[in-house]
Amino acid sequence: MIIGRLGADPEVRYTQNNTALATMRVATNDRYRDSNGELQETTEWHRVVAWGRLAETCQQLLKKGSQVYFEGPIQTRSWEDKDGQKQYMTEIKALTMQLLDSRADSGDYEPARKQELSVNDGDDFAPGDGTDADDDLPF
């Protein structure tokens, strides 16, 4: 689970099977007092991906600066770059998204929307990856 603000508008592209894939950068902040009592703030950036209808909904509803809640598993992928160096990427595979605020045309924030959107709303998790979002349910 992650709550943060988008650093840019969602980037959506489509697979060969015409399935939407949205990638998003989400910032989370941590505030604390250091040993001198001064307030410090750090920002951590997270990569979030969404598939199918959830990806398209993210593209329609989310904009840079949107405060949003995502829920899903964390996955680390690895590959070799063109120089033969092993590279790693950790991302959150969004199963659920909830918009916590939205921007009106005037730029002011409106109250949070109560609608929660999920990959399970008639959509597959990710095409061809062999994953079924309900596989780990005990019933």
Q: Which fold does the domain 2-118 belong to in CATH?
A: OB fold (Dihydrolipoamide Acetyltransferase, E2P) (2.40.50)
Confidence bin at 107 (pLDDT 50/70/90): very low
Percentage of the residues of the chain whose pLDDT score is greater than 70: 73
pLDDT of 111 over the 80 cut: no
Q: How many CB atoms lie within 10 A of CB 61?
A: 16
Query: Tokens 């061809």 label which residue?
Result: 128
Distance CA(139)–CA(123), nearest Å, equals 20
Q: Which residue has the higher pLDDT, 51 or 119?
A: 51
Contact of 58 with 49, CB cutoff 8 Å? no
Query: Among 131, 5, 138, which Cα is nearest to 70's?
Result: 5
Query: What pLDDT is recorded for position 101?
Result: 84
Query: What is the per-residue pLDDT across 37-72, written as a single tens digit (0 to 9) for each?
Result: 999 999 999 999 999 999 999 999 999 999 999 999
